[in-house]
Every structure is written in structure tokens, then in C-alpha cells.
Amino acid sequence: MDMQSRNQYLKELRSEYLKTKFKKEKGKLLNEAEKRTGLERKHLIKKLKPKSNLDRKKEDRKKRSNL
């Protein structure tokens, strides 16, 4: 799975994850995402937070200044 398709999948999953109120359902979603993406659970939890870097575009990232 390449990075673009993984991020697209995680964006779709995030909306469902944030709507879920029960811990068991969130665990099931995390298990499924872990199998599909190969990422660890803690990393997935950080990616699925509302203010994660999934929404940033490549152009929006800070670049180094050449001194």
C-alpha cells in the first residue's frame, strides 16, 4: 500500500473512528487498520486524532532555509 492510498484510507477511517463512542468498536477499527496498513496501534491512534497531519499537503510543510 503506497502512502497516498494509506492516507486516503485513514482519512475515511478517521471520520468513523471519531463518531464511535465505545471502546470495543474503536478497538475493532484499530485492529482492521493495523492489518491493512501495517502500522502499529499507537501510531494509528495519533494519526486518527482530529488535528493530525493527515490533512496537510506536501506543499504546506516547512522547508529548510539555506544559510
Domain limits, the chain: 3-50
- Residue 51 has what pLDDT? 83
Helical residues (DSSP H) of the chain, grouped into ranges: 3-19, 23-37, 41-47
Across 41-61, average pLDDT:
83
pLDDT at 3: 85
Q: What is the pLDDT of residue 43?
A: 94
pTM of the model: 0.77
User: CA–CA distance from 3 to each of 27, 38, 44, 65 (Å)?
Assistant: 23, 12, 14, 26
